[in-house]
Amino acid sequence: MLTPALRPNRTSVAAKNAAKNRLPANILRILARASAFRTTLVRVNFAPGWYPDNADPRFVRWWDGSQWTPHVQPRQQQTDAHHAEVEMGGTGQDRVAQQVQRAGIQNPVSGGGGTLFTEPVLVVNQKAKLVEMSNSYVIYDQHARHIGTVEQVGQTGAAKALRAFTKLDSMLDVRLEIRDVHGRPLLRLVRPATVWKSKVMVERGDGMPIGEIIQENVFGKVRFAFVCNGMKVGGIYAENFRAWNFSLRDHTETEVARITKTWQGMAKAVFSTADNYVVQFHRQVPDPLLSMIVASGVTVDTVLSQNQG
């Protein structure tokens, strides 16, 4: 016999059933599915651990086995870096000023908003590794402030082995992510496998296509065209056969930026294939040309210098 306190309230139950009967059939189905989903969540016993935080995809949140806790930490970004790779010291932050001067920039360039798309000077340093299986870069502004990174992603184990012991990886797909200082992807680059002319597809961090960087010649001073929506909006023009310096031009053949390869130091030169570049904008340029130029600071090394090595 139920005590009065535990006896169900028949009036309230009837009122609830009547309210449900007045709801449209599609709403009732949604409520039923939601109830089943909640039941399933209760039955499934997830192991304690870090899981993606729905409130902010940049972080993971700790699940203690029964409930979410307030503990969060930055989400680890995808990278193809392997534990067998041995880095050779830093990435050049202490030498950024020297690199800028070697690129012909004697005085600080005014302007800049602290991002990859607003700074007038970008210093792109490839991480030097004794054993290299993937491309990794750090990007600074002219004052040696860290403003971005680049990581190679999507490699298979076989591709890493080819990279470590041969040069045949130059004929495989290369995928790079250009990220801001918080690790958010800003641009994605894909260079399909090739044995002749290179082509790089550029898209935004959300996957929206921007354009292509297409190699126009094989012999002589190499040239690349920036093609967006079927139209050439600019290009990359090597100024010597060794492809150390590049002129970046708009659709009128006017130079709007430059890429200069800088001396990376004796240790890097002897024991690694890592390269350093300085990208200097002469003036502000609009998108999509801006994104193509930023992408070129890394692409030049990936599609040209790596193949030369």
Q: Note whether 34 and 68 are same-domain residues.
A: no
For residue 76, with 0-12 CB atoms within 10 Å meaning exposed, 13-18 middle and 19 or more buried, which class applies?
exposed
d(C-alpha 183, C-alpha 77), whole Å: 7
d(C-alpha 233, C-alpha 206), whole Å: 22
Lowest-confidence region among 21-30, 219-228, 240-249, 294-303: 21-30
pLDDT value at residue 256? 97
d(C-alpha 79, C-alpha 177), whole Å: 9
- Check whether 70 has a pLDDT greater than 50: yes
Q: Note whether 247 and 103 are same-domain residues.
A: yes
pTM for the model = 0.67
Compute the average pLDDT of residues 86-113. 79
Q: Residues 175-212, buried b or exposed e (16+ Cβ, 10 A)?
A: bbbbbbeebebbbbbebeebeeebbbbbbeeeeeebbb
Q: Note whether 139 and 128 are same-domain residues.
A: yes
- Check whether 135 has a pLDDT greater than 90: no
Q: Note whether 134 and 108 are same-domain residues.
A: yes
Instruction: Please check whether residue 294 lies inside any domain of the structure.
Output: yes
157: Cβ contacts below 8 Å, ≥ 6 apart: none
Q: Note whether 32 and 60 are same-domain residues.
A: no
d(C-alpha 123, C-alpha 27), whole Å: 56
Q: Note whether 108 and 61 are same-domain residues.
A: no
- Check whether 15 has a pLDDT greater than 60: no
Amino acid at 41: L
Instruction: Please check whether residue 292 lies inside any domain of the structure.
Output: yes
pLDDT value at residue 10? 43
78 three-state secondary structure: coil
Compute the average pLDDT of residues 26-46. 51
Is 306 or 132 the better-scoring residue by pLDDT? 132
135: Cβ contacts below 8 Å, ≥ 6 apart: 126, 150, 151, 152, 174, 176, 301, 302, 306
Q: For 184-232, how does the pLDDT look when each residue is reduced to its tens digit (9 = 90+)?
A: 899 999 988 777 788 999 999 888 999 999 999 988 888 999 999 999 9
Domain span at residue 261 reads: 93-308
d(C-alpha 26, C-alpha 65), whole Å: 34
Q: Note whether 105 and 168 are same-domain residues.
A: yes
Q: Note whether 245 and 111 are same-domain residues.
A: yes
pLDDT value at residue 43? 40
Q: Note whether 32 and 49 are same-domain residues.
A: no
pLDDT tier, 69 (very low <50, low <70, confident <90, very high otherwise): confident
Q: Note whether 65 and 143 are same-domain residues.
A: no
Instruction: Please check whether residue 103 lies inside any domain of the structure.
Output: yes
Instruction: Please check whether residue 287 lies inside any domain of the structure.
Output: yes
Domain count of the fold of the chain: 3
Compute the average pLDDT of residues 265-283. 69
Is 200 or 4 the better-scoring residue by pLDDT? 200
